[in-house]
Structure 1
């Protein structure tokens, strides 16, 4: 990989903004023992032991007191010398400690720069580095556990295993290029196609697991649409288990999109309650309806609500006709407690149907289970590692190349080239062939201090 950087000493506050019992300032660079001695008043900290000390300003006055930890490289998170100053978590004290670090020659770290240095110094591969941010941002317990698996190398291990198998197969195929008169017979005897098919099967398993991990990370976006006063806000509150949206008997109460994130069986679900869709002269309500259609365009699933006492009236059919054809939708017939209808799931015109009562919560669990089925979530997060969209894209491209390799295996040059392309696609995940500009994008989304 061609990426390079100019080493320098960096520092940042590693704890969350605001006041707390403990605040941490992190420093990374080369030969930081004199740095540690300067800020601790001449003490020589023992590597990987906590040293209780005052932290001193340039004039010798104490800024704070706390613990100083010194991790000499390469046995540190970044692979460089690392110092952590653990003091009291007040914003002013933290700022004073950072200012002192700047006086000693450090500069402020960029977002994700500590983790980027760990990646560049081969302490983490790129998939593991990304999992640091995913662990911090995890929206559910399942997502946090899966992110930790990725951080510990579970995802990387699967990718490395596939790459090793690809390399062995490539060696076999490319060895025949020097003997073109015997290449087909040699590949048949070596069971090259059989090995390729087994490799494709392994990749499919990894792909399925990665998709489950992506769902845990990204979640799904569900939009509630329907006429006014059919119970969209009540259903949102029932799914969320809280009074998020205002509920009244007055049509048009919701005039703007209301967003809430809930967790269903470990999967984050972003629910968007929208303004009721109808013709109106109310300027504010018109704006809300425009935003409704914008939310529909970005959604993964649409819940089309209707009053079970009325069924699919012409106005509801008009809403259905306007939904994007690619958008999966569920027909939700609400208020069965008033209509006396049967609670449960069925199917109508090729679309799933749920009869429920948002007010009494009857049938709401059926809807939760259906939503998970529609996005293909198996419900088993054990062994799942967190994955990102770029990981899924790389795996899909590798699968395509392996498919082309099998289709053209008798054309040895093409066979070899498709295997090479598949290997490169998978290696992007761990960072071996990742473009420099992509690295900049990935680490810029980290928080400062990580």
Structure 2
């Protein structure tokens, strides 16, 4: 049975060959004694704390397996908060496995085992080196797909998101203390309530929460990106538009209708926001069984899209087939109607409001790239993206849900205060529930099941 106090070890660098490979050990309950035992066996010496030392890594017969850098970090001044040793050697898979096996054999008596995914960062969280939002930012920094996402993940790792959440929690706690005091003196509750400006304090908390929600939504957009699906009849320029957006020839373009039979996906970025663009097969009635499969797959992608780009030919009027396609788009998903091939129709690029439910209409040429910047700007607008500041922090869907739930509880608290000042017990309970939701973000109130779900998605060695 694994415990959070077991000594753990893992290769911390990615699989494959590299110039340098790292083996990381965190000693848990074995502490300084376990670290000293490993150093004696592996180096035939003790490492000076927090100094990089060039040493041989000996096998059981005293023959060096490799030579590299040994680092020893005594608790609590380490990543995990436990006694930690890092071995930096050559990055060959075989030599790293030999060092790993040597460490396991040497430390078998103290119960050292291979680390699970994310277990080093989990230890850092459990030992108060990082809160949960910062721990998640570690994984987000590793997985960042754009420079803006990486910078925002680093901002979260430094504690920017956590600080904002803690300030909200502190303000809620202060207001709860006021309400509890008011409940203790019921005969004076109106005077006490107004003299302390409790309504003003609550309004200030709601405003601050709205700001955090807004920034968190921006961060979630940076982290997750948007799924954009190109849809329309065959030969309207979907593949050309994908190539124009990506700035590369990713999809085959021919004048033959039905060329695209399988989806082509490419992640691009606009202002640092990742967009996962999918080019789909042309939508039409066909007897070709292979093309039918591609069209069925197209509709499946459209159903899960977050933005649909409905392409039409600017040289022709909207047909009944185009209207039939538009009627099948999922309800609630923004649709941008794109009139392509304006280079052939003699039309200038433009953006205009739609009169029949689409988010907007854009005239452009995918072939010449005229109007592409208009499309890029509209995609950001529909996504709700503001001009990116350095202060945007990365956020996850669970953070957004917690912030939304906290906002709902604060709204309920406001309604209790306005409608019935004598129902302060209900007001106090809504404040408590809002505090619980905010605390789940930083992990001060978090179930073990949630911790497992979060850290199991980390890479091994981190």
TM-score under structure 2 length normalisation: 0.95
Q: 2:186 aligns with which of 170, 180, 183?
A: 180
Counterpart of 1:291 in 2: which secondary structure?
helix
Q: Does 1:439 find its partner at 2:447? A: no
Please name the residue that 2:209 is paired with: 203
Residue aligning to 2:85:
83
Q: Is the 8 A contact 1:259 1:271 kept in 2?
A: yes
Q: Does 1:239 align with 2:245?
A: yes
Give the corresponding residue for 1:388.
396
Residue 97 (structure 2) aligned to one of 92, 95, 98: 95
Structure 2 partner of 1:248: 254
Aligned residue runs from structure 1 range 219-230, under 5 A: 219-230=225-236
Deviates more, 1:345-354 or 1:226-235: 345-354
Contact 1:162–1:202 under 8 Å retained in 2: yes
The one of 328, 336, 356 aligned to 2:364: 356
In structure 1, distance between residues paired with 2:258 and 2:72: 61
- Residue 19 of structure 1 corresponds to 17
Shift of residue 59, structure 1, vs aligned partner = 2.1
For structure 1, the residue ranges without an aligned partner over 5 or more in a row are none
What whole-Å deviation, never above 9, does each CA across 1:217-250 have from its counterpart, x for those lacking one? 1111100000011110010010011111111111
Structure 2 equivalent of residue 429 of structure 1: 441
| Cα pair 2:47 2:53 within 8 Å, conserved | yes
The alpha carbon displacement at 1:39 in A equals 4.4
Structure 1 contact 142–381 (Cα < 8 Å) conserved: no
Unaligned runs of 5+ residues in structure 2 are none
Q: Establish whether residue 304 from structure 1 lines up as the match of residue 302 from structure 2.
A: no
Return 157-166 or 311-320, whichever deviates more.
311-320
Are the counterparts in 1 of residues 206 and 407 from structure 2 also a CA contact under 8 Å? yes
Query: What is residue 331 of structure 2 aligned with on the other side?
Result: 325
Deviation at 1:375, TM superposition (A): 0.8
| Partners of 1:311 and 1:333 within 8 A in 2 | no
How far off is 1:6 after superposition?
Answer: 3.9
C-alpha separation between the residues in 1 aligned to 2:43 and 2:223? 45
CA contact (8 A) 2:40 2:46 kept: no
Counterpart selection for 1:10 from 8, 22, 28: 8
| Corresponding position: 1:65 with 2:67 | yes
Q: Distance in 2 between matches of 1:99 and 1:286?
A: 54
SS of aligned partner of 1:306:
strand
Secondary structure of the equivalent of 1:253?
coil
Deviates more, 1:27-36 or 1:209-218: 27-36
Structure 2 counterpart of 1:406: 414
Residue 397 of structure 1 is aligned with which of 405, 412, 434? 405
Other-structure match for 2:148 = 142
Residue of 336, 341, 350 corresponding to 1:344: 350
Q: Are 1:224 and 1:305, in contact at CA under 8 Å, matched by a contact in 2?
A: yes
Describe the SS at the equivalent of 1:408: helix
Q: Distance in 1 between matches of 2:164 and 2:386?
A: 20
Distance in 2 (CA, whole Å) between partners of 1:177 and 1:332 is: 60
